[in-house]
Structure 1
């Protein structure tokens, strides 16, 4: 039976209950974070908790004390190993439905675990190039806050699936920001480019890792705005996320990228990323 964490208690998932008057349920007044644990150890735990703190501060929700200790214990109670921990913190239960926020509300803190897929076990020759669509970015103006109000993301992903695509890239004021659940990269003449971080983009941890690995291995990287024309004219396009890793894009809307073929720089980054993941998940130095 999976064990979850709820407001200081560890209990079976089917016993965890949250009030119908919780503001996370009523208003989406909540934030979340997803933290990978490899071999039972939080991966860049401090950075993830700092991003969570940024979201909490933006919504003026009090921080939870000793959350890192609670998450470590939760992972241990679920057998350790390689899991991602989902953490959600809501403003709490006000006892009634009201838009007004009072100071006496205690935040609700919830966390659960799920296994991490071993992407490294899939060879690059098996990875299929993805088709994506580009659609308007209808989200709110503070996408740097990892809030639970993801309806616009869900609708964009549904639009992509209805078009037979794997992802929707979100465009606002002429610029590609990110995917509905991913970050976006392009390659121009051997040069890796991704949009710069701003309030319309979430600072993805896989995005940061890909940039770090690229720089460590002599690949030139730049943060720069990407227009639709630049996107469809790129030598390569990738999307990255914790569940997808580094995924090649071979078509944007009806436009093939590089003749519909996976690119050589994607192959290099896929190998670097999966080798890094394998080392984390197996505990072996590769």
Structure 2
């Protein structure tokens, strides 16, 4: 039996119902996180939940839990569903209220849902690398908020998928920002570049882990804007996300970038990421 969380209660999935006037459903008025589970143990849960609370603050939403209360509840759901390697998805909408564009009265409580999914690690793709496609970044200007408003991301991902690609590399004009569901990195002459953590990207948790690994391994990483020309002239390109980990990009279709195999720096970061998983989750 599959269990989910609905407003703090763990229920049989078939018994969980969401109100049609939930603002998440009608407006995308809410926030979310996806936390990775390895060996039945959360990976970087505190970092994800801290970002959740930060997103809530940015949109004027007060969550009815402390971080520890929320983490304990999510851990109970992982245990109940016997998840070994997978994810837990959680979201808060602003709640259920009569449809109006401005925020409802303060007595309307946020609606909380969560569910788990068993997902194997993408080991074959991590070894061989993936293809990507350049797509214009048409999203709103508050990409630092992990909100439910993902239509721009979805359209970009669909365009990449239709081209047979794993990910879309987004760009505003000539400036590369991030992926449709990941952060982007390039390597040139042993130096890594990634877009600064401004309002134009989501400051990914895996992105932050990579920053830590670079510091530990004395690899130079710069939070600097880079353009399409630099991307295509890079020695290595890789993306990072909760479910994709440190994923090499070996070809940008329709463009000049293509490598025979993932590069040395990417491999070093993958090895460092494996150690982080083992340290936190015992693998």
Structure 2 residue aligned with 1:110? 113
Shift of 1:154: 0.7
Which ranges in structure 2 are unaligned for 5 or more consecutive residues? none
Between Structure 1 and Structure 2, how many residues are aligned? 279
Structure 2 residue aligned with 1:241? 241
TM-score (norm: length of structure 1): 0.90
**C-alpha distance 247-40 of structure 1, shift in aligned 2 (>3 A):** closer
Q: Secondary structure at the match of 1:36?
A: strand
Shift of 1:80: 5.3
Shift of 1:275: 4.1
Q: Secondary structure at the match of 1:230?
A: helix
Shift of 1:209: 1.2
TM-score (norm: length of structure 2): 0.91
Structure 2 residue aligned with 1:32? 32
Structure 1 residue aligned with 2:11? 11
Structure 2 residue aligned with 1:211? 211
Partners of 1:151 and 1:232 in 2: CA distance: 27
CA contact (8 A) 1:5 1:11 kept: yes
**C-alpha distance 213-116 of structure 1, shift in aligned 2 (>3 A):** farther
Answer with 226-235 or 28-37: which moved more.
Answer: 28-37
CA contact (8 A) 1:118 1:278 kept: no
Determine whether 1:159 maps to 2:159: yes
Shift of 1:116: 4.2
Which ranges in structure 1 are unaligned for 5 or more consecutive residues? none
Query: What do residues 109-160 of structure 1 show as CA deviations (whole Å, max 9, x unaligned)?
Result: 01111124235x5596xx3332211121111110110001111111101111
Q: Secondary structure at the match of 1:255?
A: coil
Structure 1 residue aligned with 2:73? 70
Structure 2 residue aligned with 1:45? 45
Q: Secondary structure at the match of 2:143?
A: coil
CA RMSD of aligned residues (A): 2.0
CA contact (8 A) 1:39 1:280 kept: no
